Amino acid sequence: MLNPTLSLTQPKSLSLLFPLNPSTSAPWSPLVTTHRKVPHNRSKPVRLISTYRVKCINDLTVAPLTEVSVTAIVTVQMTIGGRFANLGLNRGLDGITDLLGKSLQLELVSAEIDPKTGKQWNHISAYARHKDYEHLDNEAKYEAEFKVPIGFGGVGAIVVENDHRKEMFLKNIVLVTDNDEASKITFVCDSWVHSKFDNPEKRIFFSVKSYLPSQTPKSLEDLRRKDLESLRGDGTGERKNFDRIYDYDVYNDLGDPDSKDGDMARPVLGGSKQFPYPRRCRTGRPRTKKDPHSERRSSNVYIPRDESFSEVKNTTFSAKTLRSVLHAVVPSLETAIYDTKLGFPYFTAIDSLYDEGVKLPEQEGLSFFRTLVPRIIKAVRDTTENVLLFETPEMINRDKFSWFRDEEFSRQTLAGLNPYSIKLLTELPIVSKLDPAIYGPPESLITPELIEREIKGAMTAQEAIMKKKLFILDYHDLLLPYVHKVRELDNTTLYSSRTVFFLTHENTLMPIAIELTRPASPTKPQWKQVFTDNWDATSAWLWKLAKTHVCAHDSGYHQLVSHWLRTHCCVEPYIIASNRQLSAMHPIYRLLHPHFRYTMEINALAREALISAGGIIERSFSPRKYSMELSSVAYDLEWQFDMEALPADLIRRGMAVEDPKAEHGLRLTIEDYPFANDGLLIWTSTKQWVTDYVNHYYETPNDVLQDSEIQEWWLEIRTKGHADKKDEPWWPKLENQDDLIQILTTIIWVTSGHHAAVNFGQYHYAGYFPNRPTIARTNMPVEDEVPNSESFKKFWRKPEDALMECFPSQIQATVVMAVLDILSSHSPDEEYISEKPELVWKSDPVINAAFERFNGRMKEIEGIIDDRNLDTKLMNRCGAGIVPYELLKPFSGPGVTGKGIPNSISI
């Protein structure tokens, strides 16, 4: 267990106070025979203090020791390539600095006040000299020696100045008193320290002991305030790579207004009533020439330095491989498949992606990628040729034809990639909320009579509503305003859709009707039609085409809303606010910090190449260039913080009701709802861990109210991070421990369980794109009822060809598959929920015990989920050829496993 403070009031070895004379007896004797225990105070460590008197020897008094020796051992992580990776003038100057012993200057800061003066102890400074350790390949060691006066007390902070010309990554600093191993304490750094030549401001690292603001030792109050101020910046200037500034900005860098034809311009998201949006990290880049509101894009997107560990950590495996896909593999695919409209001619051509692959032209970067992810890029017959050879997705590996069946289409609404959209249908008729003067008649054609016909008279439609038997995927009002806009684009189309399901006695869903709608236009009236799976061939094929459109809608909503918006995008303001308002020594900062790892780096990469104008999303998903605009509309209509908690989300969608007698206090509307069943296990266990943690630091509601940092943190999340919704009445209050527990559990759930559920199954389910096409490119052949149209004739003659033309093109499908393979993959050193305690938690026995209980519960959940996947009564997760629902199993190995809940949104 870590020692939280280094106390220099009384060395553990008495010989450190009074050196022994070998020819005499011990020069000290106890003044009292008992120890005095200092009363517990959260602002100071518990210490045992003994009192001694000096013993006279031969009429001589041995003077008491006035200072002790302390050694600081600094561990520096080497950059990739080792110590001499960056040869050059600066590297040479840094080598000279090391030789002169002027590499790092350290200052020890006492956590106590000097009792003699009543003021702060002066900082004790020393330079750390470089030490060579031949057995350490990836680390360098620096040592500093200090002479510390007795009574200095616990070391509460260490101030560091880097005298090198280049930044250094500090892993930790270990302090040892007079080589006494029992006195060893560790300051956890895990941070980049900039060169003083880039920024003269020194870095501050606090001890592992956590303090609420009011409990901060007086001697550390100024450092606590100064450290926070250094992270906020002043909101001006362009940020440099070495900066650690956290500030807010709108999404004004997604487009390129200065492009030649202007087609790459995109609206600013955030800061307006038309396009409200969460905030992202401010970079301060120059504005574009044609649009002063838009920021000029660049290939190097600033994020605060400690949010990226790409040069020293293997965890950026995901970021590196994703960059390789975007900058090497995607261009190669575009060269190999030069016709962007070319579809797959038949299903065996799709199968060949897993058997023969796509031969890629030689391009710089592919050889590196092949060694990094041999799963995707493979060498052909031991030559240097590269081929994009996809692994067969788990779903198709188990059952090649499962995607074709209605049962699987329905099952995936509960146990697939997007379990967040299915809702209880609570009233008939179904009516749109959009303006009928613009979009046409609002009533749905899925009438009670049609429902009763499709369920074969099992009950009336009203009885089905009352018995909670009807459910809906409703993308009507969200998509309808974009139908005509998207249809103006080349090689694509769009409808709005409603899909209604009936709950069977086996707790499985049966799709009974799909409605597709095209709104009225100046030249055409509204068109809508309901498709059902009838017994005749024409209806059966039209049903398959209608399902393709619905799957494309669901894929787009999943990627843009359930995944990007609700996890990646909405979490970034929490990260910014936490760093700006919560001190590194605040217990809540330390609770949240593991759940924010690498999110800002991944988000910056997404803005660079995935969600930006001309990026993967715009080229390959149904809303095309309106994709991000659509996510803004969803944010406006649907997102509210209190509903991001899993229980509240289930209740809002009618998928659960409160029931104090039920497990987790909820009774599910569909008993066999794998996402909800497993998710509630994770939610409840996480909430218990957060409860134990919060109640350890906050004894009364007043402690929460008087915590200035946590109150400013919550205020800033609402008024700056989500500024466009700052006046909404649903924001939770923060007045007591329960409020704080609910807020923190919601944030942790979104970064862990929610993200895992919508991310790590992507290749399993969408790696075979006919199961989840990202785009539908052609209209329904019966639109406008023109039976002699060319599209209808083609459909009539060979309906399979019509389906293949509707699917994504070859380039769209293969690019998305390559990206999804990476997005679904766990890094080799992924950190999973509850798996590894932070070192600062281990220093506190109460917190450490609570975390051990959390870890034990997660291990228990692993077994519960395994048992559920073997229960044949649970048909939504167990059956012939069905992929077991493991997306919310807490732990996983590296690679594409379809399970594992990382602490953070790290890919």
Q: What is the pTM of this model?
A: 0.90
- Residue 890 CA to residue 649 CA, distance in Å, equals 21
| 876 counts as catalytic | no
Are the CB atoms for 477 and 496 separated by under 8 Å?
A: yes
- Residue 345 CA to residue 349 CA, distance in Å, equals 7
Distances (CA, A) of 93 to 90, 140, 523: 5, 17, 73
Are the CB atoms for 528 and 445 separated by under 8 Å?
A: yes
- Residue 74 CA to residue 186 CA, distance in Å, equals 10
| 907 counts as catalytic | yes
* Token couple for 848: 């450490």
Question: Got the DSSP string for 582-630?
Answer: S-TTSHHHHHHGGGGTTHHHHHHHIIIIISSTTSHHHHHSTTGGGHHHH
The rounded average pLDDT for each run of 10 residues, N- to C-terminus, in the chain (907 residues) is 46 34 32 37 37 40 72 84 40 55 89 88 92 67 92 93 91 90 88 94 95 95 96 92 95 94 92 97 95 91 84 50 72 82 94 89 60 57 68 94 96 98 97 94 96 95 97 98 96 97 97 96 92 94 97 98 98 98 98 96 92 94 96 98 98 97 96 98 98 98 98 98 98 98 98 98 96 96 76 90 96 93 88 93 94 98 98 96 97 94 94
Residue 200, C-beta contacts closer than 8 angstroms, at least 6 positions apart: none
- Residue 265 CA to residue 282 CA, distance in Å, equals 20
How high is the pLDDT of residue 250?
98
Q: Which letter does DSSP use for residue 169 in this model?
A: E
* Residue type at 813 in one-letter notation: A
- Residue 665 CA to residue 463 CA, distance in Å, equals 27
Are the CB atoms for 172 and 185 separated by under 8 Å?
A: no
Active-site entry in 3, 759, 779, 869 = 759
Are the CB atoms for 6 and 174 separated by under 8 Å?
A: no
Are the CB atoms for 679 and 646 separated by under 8 Å?
A: yes
- Residue 407 CA to residue 385 CA, distance in Å, equals 42
* Token couple for 660: 């104090």
Active-site entry in 194, 563, 722, 764 = 563
* Residue type at 684 in one-letter notation: T
How high is the pLDDT of residue 53?
37
Among 692, 688, 685, 737, CA closest to 844: 692
Active-site entry in 558, 595, 754, 755 = 755
Residue 320: CB atoms within 10 A of its CB come to 18
Residue 407, C-beta contacts closer than 8 angstroms, at least 6 positions apart: 508, 510
Are the CB atoms for 677 and 693 separated by under 8 Å?
A: no
Secondary structure of residue 574 in the 3-state scheme: helix
Query: Cis ω on the peptide bond leading into residue 429 (within 30° of 0)?
Result: yes
List b or e across 811-836, with b for residues whose CB sees 16 or more CB atoms inside 10 angstroms: bbbbbbbbbbbbbbbbbeebbbbbbe
How high is the pLDDT of residue 402?
94
Pairing of strands 155-162, 527-531: unpaired
How high is the pLDDT of residue 29?
32
- Residue 375 CA to residue 388 CA, distance in Å, equals 9
Among 447, 429, 451, 431, CA closest to 439: 431
How high is the pLDDT of residue 309?
61
Burial class of residue 872 in the structure, from the number of CB atoms within 10 Å of its CB (0-12 exposed, 13-18 middle, 19+ buried): exposed
φ/ψ (deg, to 5) at 111: -90, 5
Active-site entry in 194, 549, 568, 593 = 568
| 123 counts as catalytic | no
Among 647, 642, 650, CA closest to 722: 642
Distances (CA, A) of 644 to 157, 562, 675, 683, 774: 37, 11, 15, 12, 25
The strand pairing partners of 531, in sequence order, are 514
- Count CA atoms within 13 Å of residue 583 on its CB side: 28
Q: How many residues does the chain have?
A: 907
- Residue 726 CA to residue 728 CA, distance in Å, equals 6
E strand or H helix at 58, and its extent? none
What the chain holds in terms of domains, given with CATH numbers, is 67-227 (2.60.60.20), 421-553 (3.10.450.60)
Scanning the structure block, which residue is given the tokens 């593999």? 329
Scanning the structure block, which residue is given the tokens 């902070």? 157
| 759 counts as catalytic | yes
| 563 counts as catalytic | yes
